[in-house]
Chains A and B, each alone.
Chain A
Amino acid sequence: MEILVASAVGVLTAAGIYLILRRRSFPVILGLSLVSYAVNVFLFATGRLMTNAPAILNKYEEVAYTDPLPQALVLTAIVISFGMTAVVVMIALGAYLSSQDDRINLSDDDAKAGEDA
């Protein structure tokens, strides 16, 4: 199971970074989502991988349990990254509609602005 989770994190991160390097709004947003999935899986695994164990202590009975804290962390991280993705979609949409261009690198524009000045 460890190798499955580890390779999932690796593949998601690699694909996400590749997409982010495309520097166009849509691939970048997809890439950011993939990277945030990767980090969620990674966070989930930081409390050691367990199967069939509840994320809660039981003081009446000795049962196996998994570390509940990473699950709380993952929940927070999911909410935040989901909200942030919504924000970036809206801002990218605004940028595309106002400039008719979905590139997110500014270098060409800046060079042009310098020539104008």
Chain B
Amino acid sequence: MNHLVIAPIVLPALVAPFIIMVLRYHLDLQRIFSVASSVLVLCLTLALAAQAADGTVQVYELGDWPAPFGIVLVLDRLSAMMIVLTSVLALAVVLYAIGTGWDSRGANFHALFQFQIMGILGAFMTGDAFNLFVFFEVLLIASYGLMIHAGGAKRFQAGVQYVVYNLLGSTLFLFALGTIYAVTGTLNMADLAVRVAEMSAEETALLRVGAVMLLLVFAIKAAVLPLHFWLPASYSHAPLPVAALFAIMTKVGAYSILRVYTLIFGPDVAITEGLVGDWLLPAALLTLAVGAVGVLGSREIGRLVAFGAITSMGTLLISIALFTPAATSAALYYIVHSTLATALMFLIADQVMERQGGAVAAMRLMPQSGLLSVMFFVAAIALAGMPPLSGFIGKLLVMDAARDHDLVWWIWAVILIGSLVTIIGLARAGTLIFWKSHGLPDSDVDPDAVANAEDDDLLDGEATAAPAAAPVLPLVVCFALMTALVMLTVFAGPMTRYADATAAQLFTPTAYIETVLGGASK
């Protein structure tokens, strides 16, 4: 067995308690260990991706128990891509948090951060449905801590809402798993795939109930329309660098949908045929529409970006809901793009908030707004999916993949009009924040009003004045993310080829199933 497979999960799992127990009072050492761990995880995941790139599926049996009985980790092209994406984002966010000093505003940022990374990586690699639940809980419990990092009344209230909602989601997850276990007698994904394919349609009403409940759970995570309402409040009240990390958490939901509904309840499986795609597609279209309207209507920059994240989830889920190899390939390209773009936008929104408060309104001049406004412009182009950045290519791929679908006009109309509304909303916000503030003569601005606005818009408990000299590291991180988006555009060819290969691997799961269950016969 190749022990490298489990290394990216074990490493943060060891570093996090070390940070809590040994380095509690040494912020500098915490930072060094946290960055070192993130860099190492990135190296490990890149090595794993190189191993998975040729299409081999690797199975890691924990405790050397063979597959249907023990817990397994599985590394294929899809997991490899997702863990690399996670570790890139994690490194960017941890550097940003250090650069802006967010990590010093509350206790245990770095430990929670490492636990969060561990949970996300685990969720992407596990091959066992119950273990997916456990890793969900690991990443959620770390995210609760990060969500209320630095405190403040509003953040706590949003945090309670977030925790309660996710606890309900977890309970539903257990109900779904229990139902599926009661019917099939297994929770290993490969084993489930075999048993579900063997079942006849008449006997499996209960299994269909379980499949739909599972879809609901993942839809909560992925913020699909009727279940999306936790996201804007949670993300806009969370510390925004943390919200940038949360950009990958909605993708955990999308990944789970993709994994479970291609492998277990795949499009060819008789009992769940049409069960998922037919419901997910309209929901995804509505998600995109509501997200675009939300971008237009947001009055706070945090909410604006949160709704931007919902639009990108909408586009992504449209592509996933088609359940064809071409559409899945487009979805994979779009996952990488939208994660990076949303994270970049959250980081820029954080810098705007640091300088002028959260409101999208004409305000006083901001220090260093020139560079920031250029970055906002680029990030807005990326998030809305305008040319020349990778969002445009991603949307083009999604629309091209939808060409043969019955609802093709609906899909095209929603994506195009949604993009238009999103870009209008972002342009409006950008104009108000960066442009109009220059046009306001000083005499028009009542100093009291400005002072009041500052007090109101900063979240309680972090009334920091605008920094005199902006730190360089956050800008470097933003530029690095921007460069990543540009690279994704330039190397769209190799990236789509990888995505095509991944989609092909997903839609012929025999290799996956045989490798996982092959351990039993060994």
Interface residues of A (CB under 8 A from B): 20, 25, 28, 32, 35-36, 39, 42-43, 45-47, 67, 69-70, 73, 76-77, 80-81, 83-85, 87-88, 91-92, 94-95, 98-99, 101, 103-106, 109-110, 113-114, 116-117
Contact of A95 with B167 in the complex, beta carbons under 8 Å? no
A20 and B159 form a contact (CB under 8 A): no
A70: chain B residues at CB < 8 Å are 178, 181
Contact B160 A88 (CB under 8 A): yes
Q: Is the CB of A117 within 8 A of B360?
A: yes
Give 15 new A-B contacts, CB below 8 A, not counting A47-B182, A73-B178, A117-B457.
Answer: A35-B171, A46-B181, A77-B174, A81-B171, A84-B141, A88-B160, A95-B157, A95-B159, A98-B156, A99-B157, A104-B160, A104-B161, A104-B164, A114-B299, A117-B300
A76 touches B134 (CB 8 A): yes
A46-B179, A98-B152 known; A88-B299 Cβ under 8 A:
no
Label chain A's interface by main secondary structure: helix
Known: A25-B160, A73-B130. A43 touches B174 (CB 8 A): yes
Residue of A nearest to B460 (CB): A98
Nearest CB on B from A100, distance (A)? 9
CA distance A116 to B358 in the complex (A): 11
The residue on B at minimum CB distance from A25 is B160
Whether B279 is near chain A, meaning CB under 8 Å from some CB there, is no
**Total contacts A to B, CB within 8 angstroms?**
115
Q: List 26 A-B contacts (CB under 8 A).
A: A32-B164, A32-B168, A35-B168, A36-B167, A39-B175, A42-B175, A42-B178, A43-B174, A46-B182, A73-B130, A81-B171, A84-B137, A84-B163, A84-B170, A87-B163, A88-B164, A95-B156, A98-B460, A99-B153, A99-B156, A103-B157, A109-B157, A116-B359, A116-B453, A116-B456, A117-B361
Q: Which of chain B's residues have a CB closer than 8 A to the CB of A95?
A: 153, 156-157, 159-160
Q: Is the pair A105, B161 in contact by a Cβ cutoff of 8 Å?
A: yes
Q: Mark B441-479, 1 if CB is under 8 A from A, else 0.
A: 000000000000100110010000000000000000000
| Contact between B167 and A84, CB atoms less than 8 A apart | yes
Q: Is the CB of B181 within 8 A of A80?
A: no
Q: Does B151 contact A (CB under 8 A)?
A: yes
What are the 4 closest A-B residue pairs judged by CB atoms, nearest first? A95-B156, A99-B153, A117-B359, A46-B182
> Chain B residues near A114 (CB, 8 Å)?
299
Q: How far is A83 from B160 in the complex, measured between Cα atoms in Å?
A: 15
Q: Are B178 and A98 in contact (CB-based, < 8 A)?
A: no
Query: Which residues from chain B contact A47 at a C-beta distance below 8 Å?
Result: 181-182
Contact B141 A113 (CB under 8 A): no
Are A39 and B171 in contact (CB-based, < 8 A)?
A: yes
Output the least CB separation between A85 and chain B (Å).
8
**Closest chain B residue, CB of each to CB of A113:** B300
Check A73/B148 contact, CB under 8 A, given A84-B170, A113-B300: no
Q: How far is the CA of A105 from the CA of B457 in the complex (A)?
A: 20
Question: B interface, how many residues as a size bin?
Answer: 35 or more
Least distance between B356 CB and chain A CB atoms (Å): 12
A43 touches B299 (CB 8 A): no
Q: How far is the CA of A67 from the CA of B182 in the complex (A)?
A: 11
Q: Are B171 and A36 in contact (CB under 8 A)?
A: yes
Distance in Å from the Cβ of B249 to the closest Cβ of chain A? 17
Name the CB-closest residue of A to B299: A117
* A94 proximity list for chain B (CB < 8 A): 148, 151, 156, 159
In contact, B160 and A91 (Cβ under 8 angstroms): yes
The smallest beta-carbon distance between A10 and chain B, in angstroms, is 12
* A77 CB contacts on chain B under 8 angstroms: 174
Question: Distance in Å from the Cβ of B374 to the closest Cβ of chain A?
Answer: 25
Give CA–CA (A69, B177) in the complex, Å. Answer: 12
B144 touches A (CB below 8 Å):
yes
Complex: A98 Cα to B179 Cα, angstroms: 41
Contact B175 A106 (CB under 8 A): no
Which residues of B have CB within 8 Å of A116?
Answer: 359, 453, 456-457
By the criterion CB–CB under 8 Å, are B164 and A28 in contact? yes
Contacts of B159 in A (CB 8 A): 91, 94-95
Contact A32 B182 (CB under 8 A): no
* List of B residues within 8 angstroms of A103 by Cβ: 157
User: B336 within 8 Å of A by Cβ?
Assistant: no
Q: Across the interface, do B178 and A39 meet the contact criterion of CB distance under 8 Å?
A: yes
| CA gap between A105 and B164 in the complex, in Å | 11
Partner of B137, one of A25, A35, A39, A80: A80
C-alpha spacing A24/B86, complex, angstroms = 36
Q: Which residue of chain B has the shortest Cβ distance to A43 in the bound complex?
A: B178
Given contact pairs A73-B130, A106-B158, A91 touches B144 in the complex (Cβ within 8 A): yes
Are B164's CB and A106's CB within 8 A? no
B307 CB to closest chain A CB (Å) equals 13
Partner of A69, one of B134, B181, B360: B181
Are A98's CB and B161's CB within 8 A?
Answer: no
Is B98 an interface residue, CB under 8 A from the partner?
no
Q: Interface readout for B298-317 with A: 1 if CB under 8 Å, 0 if not?
A: 01100000000000000000
